[in-house]
Chains A and B, each alone.
Chain A
Amino acid sequence: MTESPIPGAQPGWRLISAADVPFVYELVTLVDPRWWRFSRKGLEPSILLENAQSVAAGVIIHNETGRPVACGVLTDAGASTTGTLEYFARPDERSLSLARQFAPEIIRAAFTGSPIRRLYHERFEGDPDVLGEMANLFEVEVTYPSFAQVAGRLEQRTVSALTRERFSEWAATSTGEAHT
């Protein structure tokens, strides 16, 4: 079944709601085991729901039909004013492209919507790029070699950080608008 664009509708993003849980679960299964927070204990749905309680905020990226294609969540936001961005898209080119397109807005929303001073992003070496031009702003701080087996191969995992200052510098020289 193909989806028809809704006249006048545009791709975009919105805040996540409880109604998005089935999509998030489907997304976790589509990228399994790359969304490690959810996959590390297997895909038993109640464990996913339990893990979802540590999510401070989240957004859904949708395409021109209104269909969710990607999800970003802010986790581990705490007293040390840091947070972790977990951002995944359906593993098809259009969805990944939309994720990259809206990454600047999602990151801007993370910094403006919460008092975090450092935003972390963890990824496996084989994860597809979802941050686009924003990826270069993050600096790798920790590398876990041979972290876990993905598709029969041990992949390394990195933790990168983006400071509020670095983001502000970038924002000052960029329109910050979504573009493809």
Chain B
Amino acid sequence: MITTNRIVLRPVLPSDYLRLYAIESDPATALTWRYRGAMPPIEEYEAALWKQTQQIMVVEGRDTGTVVGYLQLHDLDLRAGHGWVSLYSGPEHRGSGLVMEGGLAFTEWAFNEWPIRWLYAHSFEHNVHSFESGIRRGSAVRLGVLRERMLVDGEFTDVHVIGIERERWFASTVRRRFNTLRERENRSSALFNRDTQEYCPREPDKD
């Protein structure tokens, strides 16, 4: 589990499945996501959700406790030392940056928990702007573009292949900033009394 000031990244629970199903069913994106509009019935969803998938982490907004999106580690290839990540954002949270913040937390988690050298992601042309900042800052690399790779809503669209290399991630300023903010947040959380909604002047007593 990774906590920042806005989100909690945690493993998915069966009680989250309905929420994930709702996120994936959103008609605005259902065609571009993995089922290409043909969502399985809810009773078959768990098996479909976990197909070729090693781990699912949900992104929970700290203010609301709502699952705002989720990330999947899938198609892990331990012989090569890489895995793929897919990112899903709830329709009402797109543009909030919450799931992308979850993406940073997920990258940190994945490289700390799995023996992989590369984390790859596919991005449709219309979503690739979400990765541009990481590419500009050097924490991610565009490995290429599969031209007119997918048919979405009757039109062919390019698919960008994005890569994050372990060593590059660990050395990146993006990661350093992310972890600095996390540590600062965790320190202030430890001093924040959620019952009284007040900051304690010192570490709370253990008993």
Contact = CB atoms under 8 A, between A and B. Distances in A.
B93 interface: no
Classify the secondary structure of A's interface with B.
strand
A128 to B, nearest CB: 20
A155 B143 CA distance: 15
B80 A147 contact: yes
Contacts of A82: 149
Given A36-B80, A142-B144, A144-B163, 13 more contacts: A33-B79, A39-B79, A40-B79, A117-B148, A118-B148, A140-B144, A141-B145, A143-B143, A144-B118, A144-B143, A145-B165, A147-B80, A159-B144
Contacts of B80: 36, 40, 147-149
Contact of B147 (A42, A143, A145, A161): A161
A144 B146 CA distance: 13
Nearest to B146: A141
Interface string B147-182: 111110000100001010100000000000000000
A79 B156 CA distance: 11
B184 interface: no
Interface in A50-85: 79-82
Contacts of B148: 117-118
A20 B201 CA distance: 75
Contact of B146 (A41, A81, A117, A142): A142
B6 interface: no
Interface residues of A, number: 24
B26 interface: no
Interface residues of B, number: 22
Contacts of B81: 148
3 A-B pairs with the lowest CB-CB distances in the bound complex, closest first: A142-B144, A148-B80, A80-B151
B117 interface: yes
Nearest to B79: A40
Interface string B91-104: 00000000000000
A42 B79 CA distance: 8
A118 to B, nearest CB: 7
A141 B147 contact: yes
Interface in B110-151: 117-118, 120, 143-151
A141 B147 CA distance: 8
A166 to B, nearest CB: 12
B151 A79 contact: yes
A82 B151 CA distance: 10
B149 to A, nearest CB: 7
Contacts of A10: none
B36 interface: yes
Interface string A144-180: 1111110000000001010000000000000000000
Contacts of B144: 140-143, 159
B183 interface: no
A42 B78 CA distance: 10
A82 to B, nearest CB: 7
